[in-house]
Amino acid sequence: MGPYRVLVFVFLAALLELTVGTHFRGGIITWRALNTTPSGTHAQILIHQRYSWRRSYWWSMCTTTTITNQQIIGSPTGTLQCNVGSCGSFTSLSADVICTDYSTLIDCSSGEVYDTLTLPLSSTFVVGFYGGNWLPLAIGGNSYWQVTGKIDLTVRPDGLINTSPVTTTLPVIYRTVGVQHIHIIPMSDADSTDTLRCRWSTDNTPTSNTNGYDECASVCAPSVNGMLMNRPSRNGTYVYFNDVTLNNTVVLKYDCGWSPNVIYSGSTMVIYAPFAWVPGHSYFVTFDSG
């Protein structure tokens, strides 16, 4: 796979109003080879599914006890299936996840499940988990959603099997409408030479996305609403990443006027921040005016 890797996210500002039928809260699919060095014609691939649900929806409500006992959140919730590619070699997997954490404040439960499949090298699989009852938002409220991922087992130029990027971002991010916000997406990739970038998920029409399949069903944003963002007209306009745990120390900064790590696209600004973020530390972002 080439040097550029993409994480696909849908960011939606949620209203604090939930209805009985709206129980899905988002998810992510990642994967990696158990041995990244190719041997033979097949490889064992560990597939990770993580999904979040409205906690009060399922009879098997997620609690401290269910976490200790490694119980699942609801059943059956659906299946992860292959939609594009060498699907004859892919066995559909249950999307039922084991409860790992929950919040009574926002009525949300999250869980994950790992499965191992033996898949042929030099093959690709666009896999997805599809369902209904999305959050009651301005876009796609109470409607259908799609979580999509691509498993690409083409051997890389460095002779290794590819690994998907990962993130620990929250499934649902609550933001006040009409206020500018900055959200930092923590992400990493075991393929250390790859460059990670973000993009909006699309429904694959009218132009094709890289997965060649619908990534978001009825919850795709037709366009990102907001102010058109332009690169500052002068250099010396900086963005700073500050570590609260280290007395607000600046750990990373970029000149927004010229840095290639600050990308402007319509009403979205993406900042590529390759930094060894420390688990447990809190960070915030500040900007110069300009």
- Residue 263 and residue 208 share a domain: no
Q: From CA 211, how far away is CA 280, in angstroms rounded?
A: 34
- Residue 138 and residue 23 share a domain: yes
- Residue 266 and residue 143 share a domain: no
Mean pLDDT across the stretch 119-141?
86
CB atoms within 10 A of CB 88: 8
- Residue 133 and residue 24 share a domain: yes
Looking at residue 184, its pLDDT comes to 73
How many domains, in total, are found in the chain?
Answer: 2
Beta strands in 143-216 (DSSP E): 145-152, 166-167, 187-188, 195-200
Beta bridge partners of 197: 6
Closest-CA residue to 149 (of 226, 50, 288): 50
Domain boundary among the residues 202, 220, 238 is at 220
pLDDT in tens, 12-57: 333 323 334 578 888 999 999 999 999 999 999 999 999 999 898 8
- Residue 240 and residue 177 share a domain: no
CB atoms within 10 A of CB 224: 11
Percent of the chain with pLDDT over 70: 81
Looking at residue 109, its pLDDT comes to 92
- Residue 287 and residue 210 share a domain: no
Spatial contact of 289 and 266, defined as CB atoms under 8 Å apart: no
Torsion of CA 73, 20, 175, 263, to 10 degrees: 70
Label residue 290 by pLDDT band (50, 70, 90): low
pLDDT in tens, 79-95: 999 999 999 999 999 99
> Is this model's pTM higher than 0.95 or not?
no
- Residue 231 and residue 172 share a domain: no
- Residue 150 and residue 238 share a domain: no
Spatial contact of 210 and 150, defined as CB atoms under 8 Å apart: yes
| Domain range for 286 | 226-290
CB-based burial, 131-148: b 16+ in 10 Å, e otherwise: bebbbbbebbbebbbbbb
Phi-psi region of 273 (alpha: psi -120 to 50; beta: other; left: phi over 0): beta
Q: From CA 199, how far away is CA 268, in angstroms rounded?
A: 10
- Residue 125 and residue 12 share a domain: yes
Domain boundary among the residues 175, 205, 220 is at 220
Q: Following DSSP, what letter does each residue of 56-81 receive, concatenated?
A: TTSSS---HHHHHTT-BSSS---EEE
Percent of the chain with pLDDT over 90: 33
- Residue 206 and residue 70 share a domain: yes
Is the pLDDT higher at 240 or at 173? 240
- Residue 168 and residue 146 share a domain: yes
pLDDT in tens, 200-243: 788 876 566 778 888 888 888 665 555 455 566 666 778 888 88
CB atoms within 10 A of CB 37: 10
Q: From CA 220, how far away is CA 12, in angstroms rounded?
A: 10
- Residue 37 and residue 146 share a domain: yes
- Output 224-227 pairs: Cβ under 8 A, ≥24 positions apart: 224/200, 224/266, 224/267, 224/268, 225/267, 226/267, 226/268, 227/267
Q: What rounded mean pLDDT belongs to the chain?
A: 80
